[in-house]
């Protein structure tokens, strides 16, 4: 960890605990700041706050006092999930108090170069691929951010021999000022989290913060197939590395039906790639480009692609049984993600979908229904979803939950079929998280 002294003796408020808040508070304390944490959970029920108090950190729990900022704080480090319309954050903005997320702290203390991966979809798969490829290539990668340990916790342990591969949300990137990754990746941009950001433009601006502080010594890898992303790429000061899945190009990294090309030269055969889907090919291109820029040889990257079957809950291959292949795409919480999953398969597909009702349209799926021969639907959306699929002449069955959907799918499937859980909805009507929903799918398959 760098001997960073810029926060010494400064009064800092950590707003919201959970893992990121605890790690930020502990790091700030060790850097010599005067730290106060404020969390809504009552102190008696708040083991994190109790632990911080024992370390000499001031804690205010169970409420958010309206006059909290009268204490003269010089900086706020907030939990990424706290929206900017929160009255304390608004008060801080009005008082010109900087508002960070712990990603900024991680950058300030890290001895290791940081790789920042963001985008609407594909972040976790891309991050995981980069980590596994660098590891196979003999490097020392560490994973941080949304996919691993809290970034500032990783950064304090990392040395200059490591690379910190960091998955970044728009929420996290809104709270950075000097964050400057050696390599930044923007996988794609679609409308998401508009309830948090207010507009697509504000959301996209937050994503672009991943490269905002980069300079000509850094690299920005971006999706050249999306005009919106390409337009943002024109604003960066970093060296740009475009990727495209629409045929060979001489610039950046590209792919056609046969090969992946690096600056126009074929380096990898598509046939060797295990991970299905055009959307995953985009993730693969971004990951391969990252590793090549860091000096990796092609062979270890090819070896990873030959064996990598996907990240859990993200078009994850579960197993094949009696010629039926099962895939867990529980992370697909919107119709665009489900569209990508459906387009990954040419085989007849039984789709398991449904969940929390947010009244979003399914029309994006229309062009991707060619191979869907049945939809088994559950959750709050099941009847509305049934109307959509039946309007497109796809038979439907309604069940209560994923556990009931699996045996019905197995009963209907024949050898050569794909059974795909890709709900196009959040899970919170029935399951605490998409991970729990995906595990229920896997467990139901294994039991049968």
- The annotated binding site is made up of 119-125
Point out the annotated binding site for ATP: 119-125
Asked if 348 contacts 369 with a C-beta cutoff of 8 angstroms, the reply is: no
Structure tokens at 165: 């591969």
Name the pairing type of β-strands 372-377 and 239-244. Answer: unpaired
Max Cα-Cα span within the chain: 68
330 contacts 437 by C-beta, under 8 angstroms: yes
| Residue spans of alpha helices (H) in 84-216 | 87-94, 102-109, 123-136, 151-157, 170-173, 194-197, 200-208
Q: Strand 396-398 and strand 372-377: pairing?
A: parallel
Torsion of the alpha carbons at 335, 341, 345 and 347, rounded to the nearest 10: -60
As to burial, measured by CB atoms within 10 angstroms (0-12 exposed, 13-18 middle, 19+ buried), residue 428 is middle
* Nearest Cα residue to 102 out of 160, 44, 155: 155
Fill in the DSSP letter of residue 224: T
Which of these, 424, 120, 136, lies nearest to 128 by C-alpha position?
136
Residue found under tokens 């106060």: 36
Instruction: Give the Cα separation of 208 and 272 in Å (integer).
Output: 33
């Amino acid at each position: 960890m760098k001997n960073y002294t810029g926060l010494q003796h400064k009064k800092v408020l950590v707003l919201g605990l959970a893992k990121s808040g605890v790690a930020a508070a502990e790091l700030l304390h060790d850097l010599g700041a005067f730290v106060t944490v404020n969390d809504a959970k009552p102190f008696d029920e708040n083991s994190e706050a109790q632990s911080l108090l024992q370390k000499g950190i001031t804690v205010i729990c169970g409420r958010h006092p309206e006059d909290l900022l009268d204490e003269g704080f010089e900086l706020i480090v907030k939990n990424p999930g706290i929206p900017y319309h929160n009255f304390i954050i608004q008060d801080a903005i009005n008082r010109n108090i900087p508002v960070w997320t712990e990603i900024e702290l991680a950058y300030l203390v890290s001895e290791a170069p940081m790789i920042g991966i963001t985008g609407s979809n594909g972040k976790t798969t891309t991050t995981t691929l980069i980590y596994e490829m660098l590891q196979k290539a003999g490097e020392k990668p560490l994973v941080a951010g949304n996919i691993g340990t809290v970034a500032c916790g990783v950064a304090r342990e990392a040395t200059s021999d490591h690379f910190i591969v960091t998955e970044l949300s728009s929420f996290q990137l809104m709270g950075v000022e000097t964050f400057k990754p050696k390599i930044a990746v923007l996988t794609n941009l679609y409308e998401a989290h508009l309830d948090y950001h207010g507009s697509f433009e504000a959301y996209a601006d937050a994503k672009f913060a991943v490269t905002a502080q980069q300079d000509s010594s850094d690299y920005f890898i971006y999706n050249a197939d999306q005009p919106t992303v390409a337009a943002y790429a024109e604003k960066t000061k970093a060296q740009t590395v475009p990727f495209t899945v629409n045929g060979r190009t001489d610039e950046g990294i590209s792919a056609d039906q046969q090969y992946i090309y690096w600056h126009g030269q074929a380096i990898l055969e598509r046939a060797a790639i295990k991970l299905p889907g055009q959307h995953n090919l985009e993730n693969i291109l971004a990951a391969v480009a990252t590793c090549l820029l860091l000096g990796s040889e092609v062979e270890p990257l090819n070896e990873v692609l030959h064996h990598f079957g996907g990240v859990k809950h993200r078009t994850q291959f579960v197993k094949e049984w009696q010629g039926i292949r099962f895939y867990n795409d529980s992370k697909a919480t919107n119709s665009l993600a489900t569209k990508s999953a459906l387009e990954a398969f040419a085989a007849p597909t039984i789709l398991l979908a449904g969940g929390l009702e947010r009244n979003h349209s399914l029309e994006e799926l229309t062009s991707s229904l060619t191979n869907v021969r049945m939809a088994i639907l559950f959750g709050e959306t099941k009847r509305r979803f049934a109307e959509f699929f039946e309007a497109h002449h796809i038979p439907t069955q309604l069940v209560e939950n994923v556990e009931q959907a699996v045996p019905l799918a197995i009963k209907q499937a024949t050898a050569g079929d794909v059974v795909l859980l890709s709900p196009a909805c959040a899970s919170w009507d029935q399951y605490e998280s998409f991970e729990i929903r995906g595990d229920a799918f896997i467990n139901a398959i294994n039991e049968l």
